């Protein structure tokens, strides 16, 4: 799998550094006065200082999901461990860890949170990873 590159706006680089580096545990790469690279599970996430944008929501299996959002699909134990790490940090979940699409091929654990700049992140784990793209 090739790593993706994603650049997102943040309005406070120090807050982004604490959130992505300390709360999520992403190693920091290169940086400047206006941006920071992070290793986001093997992918390049770059936060650029820019104005904050409002979130839009879309209904998904009873949840009001923030759009746009990004995240990573983890295995179930890693997903649970990250949820526990985030909870222990005192960071508020937008949608706490729960299972959606229960009993269906796409059954998954999911949780959402916002970074300090208002960017929405989703972390999920598939009950059956081979069903990641199944309906």
In the DSSP assignment, the letter for residue 122 is: E
pLDDT of residue 54 exceeding 90, the answer is no
Q: Please give the CATH architecture assigned to the domain spanning 56-131.
A: Roll (3.10)
Q: Please give the CATH architecture assigned to the domain spanning 5-49.
A: 2-Layer Sandwich (3.30)
Please state the pTM of the whole predicted model.
0.90
Q: How far is CA 10 from CA 35, 42, 82, 97, 109, in A?
A: 9, 21, 22, 25, 27
pLDDT of residue 21 exceeding 70, the answer is yes
The residue extents of the domains of the chain are 5-49, 56-131
User: In sequence order, what DSSP letters do the residues of 26-50 get, joined into one string?
Assistant: PPEEEE-SSEEEEEETTEEEEEEE-
pLDDT of residue 82 exceeding 90, the answer is yes
DSSP H helices, the chain, are: 13-16, 76-89
């Amino acid at each position: 799998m090739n790593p993706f590159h994603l650049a997102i706006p943040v309005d406070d680089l120090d807050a982004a550094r604490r959130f992505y580096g300390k709360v999520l545990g992403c190693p920091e790469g290169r940086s400047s006065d206006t941006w920071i690279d992070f290793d986001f599970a093997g992918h390049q996430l770059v936060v650029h200082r820019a104005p904050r944008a409002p979130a839009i929501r879309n209904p998904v299996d009873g949840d009001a999901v923030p759009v746009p959002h990004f995240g990573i699909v983890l295995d179930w134990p890693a997903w649970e461990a990250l949820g526990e790490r985030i909870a222990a940090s005192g960071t508020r979940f937008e949608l706490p860890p729960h299972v959606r699409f229960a009993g269906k091929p796409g059954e998954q654990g999911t949780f959402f949170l916002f970074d300090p700049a208002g960017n929405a992140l989703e972390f999920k784990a598939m009950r059956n990873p081979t069903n990641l793209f199944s309906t």
